[in-house]
Amino acid sequence: MRTSTVRTETPLAEDVTLTADTIHVDLSDGRTISAPLAWFPRLLNASQKERDNWRLIGKGQGLHWEDIDEDISVGNLLMGQASGESQQSFEKWLSARKPRRSTSHGQRR
């Protein structure tokens, strides 16, 4: 009996588009995979400028957003895995982003 072996390779990311609530990743095999931004709270809470500042990592095996310190692998997207960041870690990151209030309230002395 003959058996065939199926080789599977994870396709590489080529481009990314972000809408208000979804990430779309164009892959090297012609597919586009989408996931809700709710899966990636840092991206969901990022400004448009921060969302636009991404780059490919690992020759397209993943995506990196420098401004918000977010990394997403193509493999995890294909498996339907959301961010693995703990709620505690996310809340710490989010609180560090909030602008600090001045204690002087702009008053002259």
Closest CA to 72 of 86, 88, 57, 89: 57
CATH topology of domain 13-96: NE0471 N-terminal domain-like (3.30.2020)
pTM over 0.85: no
User: For the chain, what are the domain ranges?
Assistant: 13-96
Contact 45, 37 (CB under 8 A): no
The pLDDT, as a whole number, for residue 9 is: 86
| Tens-digit pLDDT string for the chain (109 aa) | 677 666 678 899 999 999 999 999 999 999 999 999 999 999 999 999 999 999 999 999 999 999 999 999 999 999 999 999 999 999 999 999 877 554 444 444 4
The pLDDT, as a whole number, for residue 7 is: 67
Closest CA to 87 of 22, 41, 23: 41
- 5 burial class (0-12, 13-18, 19+ CB within 10 angstroms)? exposed
Which residue is associated with the tokens 């703990």?
86
The pLDDT, as a whole number, for residue 2 is: 72
DSSP letter for 62, please: E
Phi and psi angles of residue 13, each rounded to the nearest 5 degrees, phi first: -75, 140
